[in-house]
Amino acid sequence: MAYAMSDIGLTRRASLERTIGLAGIAGMVLLFAATIAYATGEPQLDASTADAAEFIKGLDAWWITPVEAVADIGMMVLLWFLVGLPLLLRRHEGEVPVRSTVAMLAGVLVAAFVVLDSTYQAGAHRSSELDDADLALAYDLGQIGFTNIWLPLGSFAFACGWLMISTASMPRWLGWWGVVVGIALGLAQFSGLSGPGWVPYLAFWVWLLTTCVVLVRTPAVLDHRTDLGGRS
């Protein structure tokens, strides 16, 4: 009976881990598909006022609102992963789960920015009443806010990576990858969009996708240090 209960518990945990991994993949697909759709042709941060204003004016098309809605939905789906992974890792952290809590809060900060930021939409909505300088300001606010979320993204990767390494709850190479990306994203705050910060930013999303795939393909990887009481 004990073995049967153990098998049931492991199966349920494996199903949960696979679900969290699938949520991460689905959220990324929705978020990036929608973002690429409406951000195509987006100029650089140092673009001229005219170019920035022209881009914001182009966001007033009828199809932009549903595409942005898809991006927000994708972010909320991804939030299940950004909260779920730290909670899975928390089982191995110990009595004071500081790292998993920081990771979870960092993920919430990222989701809050993506869903609540409306500078582009506001500028496009009033584009006929605003001059180019006002529209360029809306563009700059959106772009600079985007670089600001690199720090919570880095905090998420660093905290989760540290947990993976110290607890061996997931492959250590995945943990080291997260730690390095997290540090690099923190340093990228000094460079802005015009610097090399895009490299760790893209590396973060590859790391995130890889983590999702590990959870989906080998969900029991997080169970090898967990006893029936759920403690490491």
CA triple 22-24-26, angle to 5 deg: 70
Residue 127 is predicted with a pLDDT of 87
**Secondary-structure breakdown of the chain: helix, strand, coil percentages, each rounded to the nearest 5:** 75, 0, 25
**Mean confidence (pLDDT) of the chain:** 86
Split at pLDDT 50, 70, 90, the class of 14 is: confident
| CA 18 – CA 24 distance, rounded (Å) | 10
Split at pLDDT 50, 70, 90, the class of 114 is: very high
Rounded mean pLDDT, 139-155:
92
Split at pLDDT 50, 70, 90, the class of 44 is: confident
| CA 79 – CA 189 distance, rounded (Å) | 23
pLDDT at 80 over 90: yes
What is the secondary structure of 17-68 as a DSSP string? HHHHHHHHHHHHHHHHHHHHHHHTTPPPTT--HHHHHHHHHHTTSTTHHHHH
End-to-end CA distance of the chain: 22
pLDDT at 165 over 90: yes
Residue 218 is predicted with a pLDDT of 79
| CA 191 – CA 194 distance, rounded (Å) | 7
Residue 219 is predicted with a pLDDT of 64
Split at pLDDT 50, 70, 90, the class of 48 is: confident
137 compared with 229, residue with greater pLDDT: 137
Rounded mean pLDDT, 120-149:
89
Residue 220 is predicted with a pLDDT of 60
189 compared with 186, residue with greater pLDDT: 186
pLDDT at 232 over 60: no
Report the range out of 38-42, 107-111, 189-193, 217-221 with the highest average pLDDT: 107-111
pLDDT at 138 over 50: yes
Residue with tokens 């929608």: 34
Would you tell me the crossing angle of helices 64-90 and 150-167 to the nearest 10 degrees? Answer: 30
Residue 226 is predicted with a pLDDT of 45
| CA 54 – CA 127 distance, rounded (Å) | 10
Split at pLDDT 50, 70, 90, the class of 197 is: confident
Please state the pTM of the whole predicted model.
0.87
